[in-house]
Amino acid sequence: MLLTINGLDKSFDRGKVRALCGVSLQLAAGKTYSILGESGSGKTTLARLIAGLERPDRGQIHYQGNLISSESQHVPAEKRAIGYMFQHYALFPHLTIAQNIAYGLKKSPRGRTVVEEMLALVNLPDYGGRYPHELSGGQQQRVALARALAMKPRLLLLDEPFSNLDTSLRVDLRTEIFAILQTTGVCAVFITHNAEDAMAISDEVIVLKAGTLLQQASPQALYARPARPYVARIFDALLELSAPLLAEFGYSAQAGRQYFLRSHHLSFASENDYRTAVTVHKSAFMGKYYEIEVAVAGQVFRVQSPAPAPEGTGELGWKESDLLVFGE
């Protein structure tokens, strides 16, 4: 394993704010990861701990087999050779693009070729003499990436790289950066609050909530087998089905478990495993789907259906394989 984290705790303000509790994870060389979480989930703190910008209260971090962080031991960030790309790029305003990229390198002819390589890599070959403020946001970002990669780190942390960009641009840039990272073979860790970004670029996604690691899994596994309702909710609106409601559909619930359905998994199709008659209140066309408000046994909820609902009443149902069961 490239990086192993065991039981990491970190709090701020003399313990008043707990940023991370008992986080453990492993990262393998050459793969791409995302740390996904809302603001305040501790994702940035985790990245900063890995980079050595913070010290943990408890727990250990091993990098390439060596202990780099623990309660008593701390390898300073500058000795870790872990790349870090900052959210607002943190380009040095008084240095040119080339000087920025060369910053972490030893002064040598070799260094100069590395700068050229990096500029070519990020597709900014003629920009070496410019200053950061003369570049557009996307270009600045690529410079920040080039600067971090120039050190040839085996692990690169990218803090919210796409959060400053609007949707169309972010997809382009995401693809571009992903391609660049692929050519270098670096283990990249994206810190992001955007599920789509995380799914699009990662081999594995690490979900954090309120300082706790909920799940580390591939995008497919994350979607198919979410460890918590929270993880499933990242992707879709969920409907919680209570035991009496399940009974309406002819499904017998077990005690101590929670049952959820993604709202587009309810439909009026006839091949559903469980079905029940419902009253349709309202049906609205949303483009990709119809949002339909229905009532089952006096309880009102919304369903996303590919087809419009029948007038008045209909037979609503779902497939057994789509049911998400948590607990036990």
Partner 1 sequence: MAARFQTYWQKFRRNFDRWSVVALLLTLFIIVPTVFLLLQLIDGPGESWGHFVENLLPKYLQNSLYLAVVCSVLTLLLGVSSAWFSTRYDFPLRRSLEWLLILPLAIPSYITAYAYAGVFDYGGPVESLLQGLSPEAAKVDIMNIHGLAMVLSVSLYPYVYVACRAFFLHQSQSLIEASQVLGQNQVRSFFRLILPLARPAIVGGVILVLMEVLNDYGAAKYFGVNTFTTGIFKSWFGYEEFNTATYLAALLLVIIFSLILIEQRQRRRKRFVVDGKGGKRLARIRLRGTRGFLVTAVVGLPVVLGFLIPVAQLLYWAVQVYSQVAWGEYFSVAGQSLAIAGMAAALCVILATALLLAGHWNRLRWIGWLTKLGVLGYAIPGAVIAIGVYIPGLVIDKWLIRTAEATFSTKIGLVLTGTVIALIYAYIVRFLAVAFNPISAGKQKVQNSLLEASQSLGKGPWATFFRIELPLLQPALLGAFILVFIDVMKELPLTLILKPYNVQTLAIEAYQYASDERIMEAAFPSLTIVAVGVLPVIFLNRLIRQD
Q: Phi and psi for 273 in degrees, rounded to 5? A: -75, -35
Closer residue to partner 1 in complex, CB, 77/171: 77
Closer residue to partner 1 in complex, CB, 21/82: 82
Closest separation in Å from C-beta 51 to partner 1? 6
Closest separation in Å from C-beta 227 to partner 1? 32
User: Is the distance from CB of 23 to CB of 5 less than 8 angstroms?
Assistant: yes
**Which of 314, 267, 305 is CA-nearest to residue 286?**
305
Closest separation in Å from C-beta 6 to partner 1? 20
User: Is the distance from CB of 156 to CB of 189 less than 8 angstroms?
Assistant: yes
Closer residue to partner 1 in complex, CB, 88/282: 88
Closer residue to partner 1 in complex, CB, 164/276: 164
Alpha-helical (H) ranges within the chain are 43-51, 97-102, 109-121, 137-150, 167-184, 195-201, 219-224, 229-235, 243-248
Q: What is the 3-state secondary structure (H, E, C) of 187-252?
A: EEEEEECCHHHHHHHCCEEEEEECCEEEEEECHHHHHHCCCCHHHHHHHCCEEEECHHHHHHCCCC
Residue 134 vs residues 123, 128, 187: alpha-carbon distances, Å? 16, 11, 30
Closer residue to partner 1 in complex, CB, 148/245: 148
Closest separation in Å from C-beta 116 to partner 1? 18
Closer residue to partner 1 in complex, CB, 140/272: 140
Neighbouring CB atoms inside 10 A of 185's CB total 10
For partner 1, the binding residues (CB under 8 A) are 51-53, 72, 76-84, 86-88, 90, 92-94, 103-104, 147-148, 151
Closer residue to partner 1 in complex, CB, 74/319: 74
**Rg of the chain in Å (alpha carbons):** 24
Closest separation in Å from C-beta 57 to partner 1? 10
Closer residue to partner 1 in complex, CB, 51/294: 51
Closest separation in Å from C-beta 52 to partner 1? 8
Closest separation in Å from C-beta 182 to partner 1? 22
Closer residue to partner 1 in complex, CB, 181/217: 181
* CA end-to-end span of the chain: 31
Rounded to whole angstroms, the Cα distance separating 284 from 290 reads 5
* Residues in a beta bridge with 267: 317
**Which of 162, 11, 199 is CA-nearest to residue 87?**
162
User: Cβ contacts of residue 114 below 8 Å, gap of 6+?
Assistant: 101, 102, 105, 150
Closest separation in Å from C-beta 255 to partner 1? 44
Closest separation in Å from C-beta 159 to partner 1? 9
